[in-house]
Amino acid sequence: MSDASELPKKEEKEEEVTPEPEEQSDDSSGEEAAGETEMDFLRNLFSSTLGLGSADKVLDELTLDAVARYIKSGKCKNIICMVGAGISTSAGIPDFRSPGTGLYANLRKYDLPYPEAIFQIDYFKKHPEPFFALAKELYPGQFKPTICHYFMKLLKDKGHLRRCYTQNIDTLERVAGLEGEDLIEAHGTFYTSHCVSFCCRKEYNLDWMKDKIFSDDIPRCDKCNSLVKPDIVFFGENLPVRFFTSMKMDFPCCDLLIVMGTSLQVQPFAGLVGRVSKSCPRLLINMEKAGQADPLFGLLGFGGGMDFDSDKAYRDVAHISTCDEGCLALAELLGWKEELEELVKQEHARIDSQDRKEKASGSKGAAAKASSASVAPEPEKEE
């Protein structure tokens, strides 16, 4: 399951990650993260091949009810959510690959050489117009967070959430109330933008980029006149260094992994499910099972080998439903359903009210501007 808030499959290799040019202090961090990633790969390979490591059973059964009982036990203080496309589709954001309705099926009007070119950095630098036309259709601020987004906010408010790792670029996690410290935006974000020139790299904020996109101007740097691109990860670009450094701290501490709305096919994001301890329960809420063990990938340590159905299954739970339905079901088992529904209602009302005020303010400003322009200046008196 994937949608327009989740970028297409990346081809980055972990060892190739380098920091942003302007953040020279991150050079050593990037190299260290890459080196440690290689060591983790070898550990996973030997561990899975030789059957090393303990595998304590934490859940009394592999059901959503058991996950809820585990959360209510008070033992879950470091829940990590891994989320992708599916958590935003109910907000109205189209998916990528659904026949007829997916984003790629509706890109013909942009006259691309191939659909993925719209997210290809080399193509963007030569032909930025298609991307910014698409960005206008999908720009953050036109959609409201879903039940799933607010469920993660509840996890935070109740002291259970350690971090949310998201593949999405729609910023709806932030709109729902998660802050920068709560988030690892693995595929980048529209929240900030930078000049593409390595000699400049001037930063611009969300409002600046929004003004450019909605006035149909190709955003260019006011310092060097190079293109300015939202900080989302295109084909041919590296994932943020923070993705690699944070996962080293977060996943060993995780006591429950909740995976929602992702096909677990995009590396290195998909490989995160294998970084929790062998006793850590993993819950998948998705329209289909994902991330299941592949014989070859399992041997190489990729993907984490989710096991829902075999005789050896002991910690992986698959709840097949939409992300919103799954979060509501879990919230009900936790006794949070009414609180979640009220939170969604209040926040959506607040967002609608804010939108009305902004539109009214914009209309007044436009009317005042038109009125002043229509008034002819008084001729100067001759002395």
* 3-class secondary structure, 317: strand
Binding-site residues sit at 85-89, 95-97, 167-170, 195, 200, 221, 224, 262-263, 286-288, 323
């260094």: which residue's tokens?
241
Assess whether 160 carries a catalytic annotation. Answer: no
Q: Strand, coil or helix: what is 82?
A: strand
Q: What is the dihedral of CA 40, 46, 49, 53, to 10 degrees?
A: -80
Paired tokens of 86: 């599916």
CA distance 229 to 222: 13
Q: Where are the alpha helices (DSSP H) in 96-171?
A: 121-126, 129-138, 147-157
* Side-chain half-sphere CA neighbours of 207 within 13 A: 0
- Cβ of 363: how many Cβ atoms within 10 Å? 10
Choosing from 160, 187, 194, 319, the catalytic residue is 187
- Asked if 132 and 219 count as a contact pair (C-beta separation under 8 A), the reply is yes
Residues annotated within the binding site for NAD(+) are 85-89, 95-97, 167-170, 262-263, 286-288, 323
State the Cα–Cα distance between residues 362 and 269, nearest whole angstrom: 40
Residue 346's closest CA among 154, 86, 72?
Answer: 154
DSSP secondary structure string for all residues of 204-250? EEHHHHHHHHHTTPPPB-TTT--BEEEEEPPBTSPPPHHHHHHHHHH
| Distance (Å) of CA 8 to CA 187, 221, 263, 289 | 9, 27, 11, 19
CA pair distance 211, 217, nearest whole angstrom: 9
Q: List the binding residues for Zn(2+).
A: 195, 200, 221, 224
The set of catalytic residues is 187
